């Protein structure tokens, strides 16, 4: 069963991967990180990525149809039963790289996402999305 480090090392095997981190979007804490990050500071990168992730997760515009109902059902089922994040992932591209932020659903209350930084020449967004989704599932579901 993979732990946080194994999961991040697996993310680093994606084509073009420069850095990978597991970040809490409420506090901005990097729970783990490998490789390099823009500006050479993974803690600063985590805090900045966390801010973007939090805004995305809280925007109603990005919430799928029926999410409120699902949430309401959970709220009545028990005190804040596990709710999947409303957003699956977030992709940011610039001239030389991609950032893929994948929200991690957990069975306990949390607010974490996987952040992978990919070099543009080798990066493959479609592959990264699929793999990160699988990794996020394996990380917390075994």
Q: Which residue ranges make up the site for other proteins (CB under 8 A)?
A: 1-4, 7, 22, 24, 26-29, 31, 41, 43-44, 47-48, 50-51, 54-55, 58-60, 68, 71, 75, 78-83, 106-112, 138-142
Degrees, nearest 5: CA angle 25-29-32: 110
Residues 6+ away with beta carbon under 8 Å from 25: 50, 51, 53, 54, 57, 111, 112, 113
User: In the bound complex, what is the minimum distance in angstroms from residue 65's beta carbon to other proteins?
Assistant: 15
Tokens (6 digits) for 63: 């919430």
User: In the bound complex, what is the minimum distance in angstroms from residue 41's beta carbon to other proteins?
Assistant: 8
Tokens (6 digits) for 10: 């697996």
Phi, psi of 140 (to 5 degrees): -110, -10
Residues 6+ away with beta carbon under 8 Å from 1: 142
**Cα distances (angstroms) measured from residue 49 to each of 7, 56, 76:** 19, 11, 32
- Looking at the Cβ atoms of 56 and 123, the one nearer to other proteins is 56
- Looking at the Cβ atoms of 16 and 104, the one nearer to other proteins is 104
The 8-class DSSP code of residue 64 comes to P
User: In the bound complex, what is the minimum distance in angstroms from residue 122's beta carbon to other proteins?
Assistant: 27
- Looking at the Cβ atoms of 15 and 77, the one nearer to other proteins is 77
- Looking at the Cβ atoms of 2 and 15, the one nearer to other proteins is 2
User: In the bound complex, what is the minimum distance in angstroms from residue 121's beta carbon to other proteins?
Assistant: 29
- Looking at the Cβ atoms of 17 and 135, the one nearer to other proteins is 135
User: In the bound complex, what is the minimum distance in angstroms from residue 126's beta carbon to other proteins?
Assistant: 24
């Amino acid at each position: 069963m993979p732990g946080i480090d194994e999961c991040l090392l697996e993310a680093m095997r994606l084509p073009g991967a420069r850095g990978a981190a597991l970040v809490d979007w409420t506090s901005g804490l990097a729970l783990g990180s490998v490789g390099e990050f823009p500006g050479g500071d993974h803690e600063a990168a985590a805090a900045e990525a966390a801010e973007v992730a939090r805004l995305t997760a809280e925007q109603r515009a990005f919430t799928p149809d029926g999410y409120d109902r699902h949430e309401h059902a959970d709220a009545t089922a028990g005190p804040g039963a596990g709710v999947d994040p409303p957003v699956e992932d977030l992709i940011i591209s610039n001239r030389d790289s991609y950032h893929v932020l994948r929200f991690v659903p957990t069975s306990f209350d949390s607010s974490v996402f996987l952040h992978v930084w990919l070099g543009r020449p080798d990066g493959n967004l479609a592959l990264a999305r699929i793999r990160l989704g699988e990794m996020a599932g394996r990380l917390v579901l075994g």
